[in-house]
């Protein structure tokens, strides 16, 4: 970790990346965040890269304020993983049928279920709090309440971009299930609404970057945002839980003879806000492209669709506000990846993985991401590796 002092900054930037390798656009975003009046700390993860609103791979700790654009539009986006009793010996040589069954069970892209998923019919799904959760939808921003039907039908769906469902194997030959998704369209609608509200508030008019507009404590706008933010984060967690239940059901049916069982689920947000206490202060900690890595807490750090991922355990480093990276992090934009790579490159870089290999996912090619091993090495004081996973099936939207 290195400290980066910048002119006008109210706090030093604690960086778990080589500053010389961080693109100028991301550095400027970090400089801007460090000048905010409410800032109490800023930590930068090794997967750092330029992002809309605020830098991906940043942990922003503020007192009495929160920046909705720093959370991002995919509120509560994160990961879930489950170890199964299956081994590599249980897997067929041709995994195309398994991939097809997953795609049939879990809508991808902009797709949604024809009817809302009934959690009461999902094997082992805990329905406690489900009705109360949906009952609170009537209290979210009025501007998005008309989206309730869509929000119901998108619950348990993947989305597109870097979201995925994977079947993986670990170094001991065990099979894992893993997925990455967030709060879908309803999270984006809530985020867009509140970002617009924040940018119109008087105290935000003199900011160096209008994307850093904040809500401040003890105001109705802050209360409204916190209500909707925490609801959307819960939506994202439910979304992943339902997808995992659907995925388990596919695995039970496809491997009926093996009678698979499943260990407890590991789940973590990586675009969210948490109320935490550091150095005697109650702070609002925004993790955008970062996971919580408190002492002993399990986390998931995925690589790209052809390189593998890591299950980790947090070391509770207060310098990073108990945080770690959320993945490998992009090293080039989506447009740049499309210009540089072809479908042939994609086929080569995802060799051995049952996945899409068409032009629609070239922007997700492994070459567009930083090497995951390097990212892990740069945060050895933040997490310890529990197990490395390698995908054999990858479903993308």
> Six-digit token pair at 373?
């091993």
Please compute, for residue 314, the number of CA atoms within 13 A of its CA located in the half-sphere on the CB side: 24
Beta strands in the chain, from DSSP E residues, in sequence order = 2-4, 13-15, 39-49, 56-62, 65-66, 78-87, 164-170, 174-181, 215-216, 266-269, 271-278, 281-288, 290-292, 298-302, 309-314, 323-325, 354-355, 383-396
> Six-digit token pair at 364?
């997700």
Question: How many Å apart are CA 353 and CA 337, to the nearest integer?
Answer: 20
Q: Are strands 39-49 and 13-15 parallel, antiparallel or unpaired?
A: parallel
**For residue 170, what pLDDT is reported?**
98
Q: Are 255 and 90 in contact (CB under 8 A)?
A: yes
Q: Across the 397 residues of the chain, what is the mean pLDDT of every consecutive 10-residue run?
A: 74 92 93 94 96 92 97 96 98 98 96 95 91 96 96 97 97 98 97 97 93 97 98 98 98 97 97 96 97 98 94 97 96 95 97 96 96 96 98 96
Radius of gyration of the chain (CA): 21
CA-to-CA dists, residue 183 to 75, 235, 275, 396, angstroms: 6, 6, 20, 16
**For residue 222, what pLDDT is reported?**
98
> Six-digit token pair at 80?
């879930």
**For residue 44, what pLDDT is reported?**
97
CA angle 228, 229, 233 (to 5 degrees): 115
**For residue 53, what pLDDT is reported?**
79
Q: Are 318 and 291 in contact (CB under 8 A)?
A: no
Question: How many Å apart are CA 393 and CA 397, to the nearest integer?
Answer: 14
Question: How many Å apart are CA 162 and CA 142, to the nearest integer?
Answer: 30
Tell me the H-state helices in 167-314: 184-199, 220-254
Question: How many Å apart are CA 80 and CA 260, to the nearest integer?
Answer: 18
How far, rounded to the nearest angstrom, does the alpha carbon of residue 228 sit from its chain's CA centroid? 18
Catalytic residue flag (residue 326): yes
Q: Which residue has the tokens 């997700």?
A: 364
Residue from 49, 163, 270, 326 carrying the catalytic annotation: 326
Question: How many Å apart are CA 281 and CA 211, to the nearest integer?
Answer: 26
Q: What is the DSSP letter of 131?
A: H
Question: How many Å apart are CA 88 and CA 92, to the nearest integer?
Answer: 9
Question: How many Å apart are CA 381 and CA 252, to the nearest integer?
Answer: 39
pTM: 0.96
**For residue 52, what pLDDT is reported?**
84
Q: Which residue has the tokens 């197990």?
A: 387
């Amino acid at each position: 970790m290195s400290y980066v002092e910048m002119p006008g900054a109210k706090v030093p930037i604690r960086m778990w990346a080589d500053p010389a390798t961080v693109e100028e656009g991301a550095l400027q975003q970090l400089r801007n965040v460090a000048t905010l009046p409410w800032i109490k700390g800023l930590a930068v993860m090794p997967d750092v890269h330029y992002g809309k609103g605020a830098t991906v791979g940043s942990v922003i700790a503020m007192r009495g304020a929160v920046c909705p654009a720093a959370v991002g539009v995919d509120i509560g986006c994160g990961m879930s993983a489950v170890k199964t009793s299956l081994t590599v010996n249980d897997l067929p040589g041709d995994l195309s049928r398994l991939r097809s069954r997953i795609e049939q069970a879990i809508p991808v892209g902009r797709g949604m279920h024809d009817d809302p998923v009934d959690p009461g019919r999902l094997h082992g799904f805990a329905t406690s709090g489900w009705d109360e959760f949906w009952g609170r939808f009537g209290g979210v921003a009025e501007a998005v309440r008309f989206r309730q039907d869509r929000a119901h039908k998108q619950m348990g769906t993947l989305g597109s971009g870097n979201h995925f469902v994977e079947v993986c194997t670990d170094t001991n030959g065990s099979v894992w299930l893993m997925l990455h998704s967030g709060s879908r369209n309803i999270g984006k609608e809530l985020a867009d609404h509140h970002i617009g509200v924040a940018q119109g508030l008087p105290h935000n008019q003199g900011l160096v970057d209008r994307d850093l507009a904040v809500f401040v404590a003890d105001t109705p706008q802050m209360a409204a945002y916190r209500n909707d933010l925490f609801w959307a984060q819960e939506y994202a967690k439910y979304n992943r839980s339902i997808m995992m239940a659907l995925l388990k059901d596919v695995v039970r049916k496809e491997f009926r003879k093996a009678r698979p069982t499943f260990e407890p689920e590991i789940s973590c947000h990586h675009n969210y806000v948490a109320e935490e206490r550091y150095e005697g202060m109650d702070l609002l900690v925004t993790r955008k492209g970062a996971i919580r890595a408190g002492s002993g807490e399990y986390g998931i750090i995925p690589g790209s669709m052809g390189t593998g991922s890591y299950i980790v355990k947090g070391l509770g480093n207060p310098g990073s506000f108990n945080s770690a990276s959320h993945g490998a992090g992009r090293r080039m934009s989506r447009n740049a990846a499309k210009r540089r790579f072809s479908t042939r490159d994609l086929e080569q870089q995802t060799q051995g993985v049952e996945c899409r290999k068409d032009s629609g996912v070239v922007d997700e090619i492994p070459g567009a991401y930083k090497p995951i091993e390097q990212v892990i090495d740069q945060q050895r004081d933040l997490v310890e590796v529990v197990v490395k996973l390698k995908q054999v099936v990858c479903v993308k939207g």
